[in-house]
Amino acid sequence: MLKYHRLWVAVGWVLVILVVYLSLAQNPPTPLTFENSDKFEHAFSYAILSFWLCQIYQSARSRAVVIIALVGMGVGLEYVQGWTGYRTFDVMDMLADSVGVLLGWLLVLTPLGRLLASFENRVAR
């Protein structure tokens, strides 16, 4: 278990809240402006969420719950966007979210998946 578990969980919740806010904001920032850049933004955002949370919750079962919850969040937020009247429902955004979740999970299986633990080890010195 990570030494600063509560801190990492709190940061994870802040990231989730940020994604929810940006998904439902009437005029979210658009840092990228190339064609279909929003799909990249979706995949990147969900990859970060998945990567972060899968470092905290390390068992296979916990990671499965994280992955299912994030995919569900992406799907659910798309439906809510369609109901807002000022955002649109897009199945391709759901796909981009899901791809991002899977990329984040795959990334956590690499040596980068020890990023938080490595940070804690350096701080403890």
Tell me the pLDDT of the chain (125 aa) as tens digits.
899 999 999 999 999 999 999 999 998 888 878 888 899 999 999 999 999 999 999 999 999 999 999 999 999 999 999 999 999 999 999 999 999 999 999 999 999 999 999 999 998 76
96-110 per-residue burial string, b: 16 or more CB within 10 A, e: under 16: bbbbbbbbbbebbee
pLDDT of residue 21: 97
Distances (CA, A) of 116 to 3, 4, 6, 17: 10, 9, 12, 20
| pLDDT value at residue 28 | 85
Specify the pLDDT at position 34. Answer: 86
pTM, whole model, 2 decimals?
0.94
Q: Where are the domains of the chain?
A: 39-124
pLDDT of residue 56: 97
Task: For residue 56, give every residue at least 6 positions away whose Cβ sits within 8 Å of its Cβ, in sequence order, or none.
Answer: 2, 5, 8, 9, 12, 116
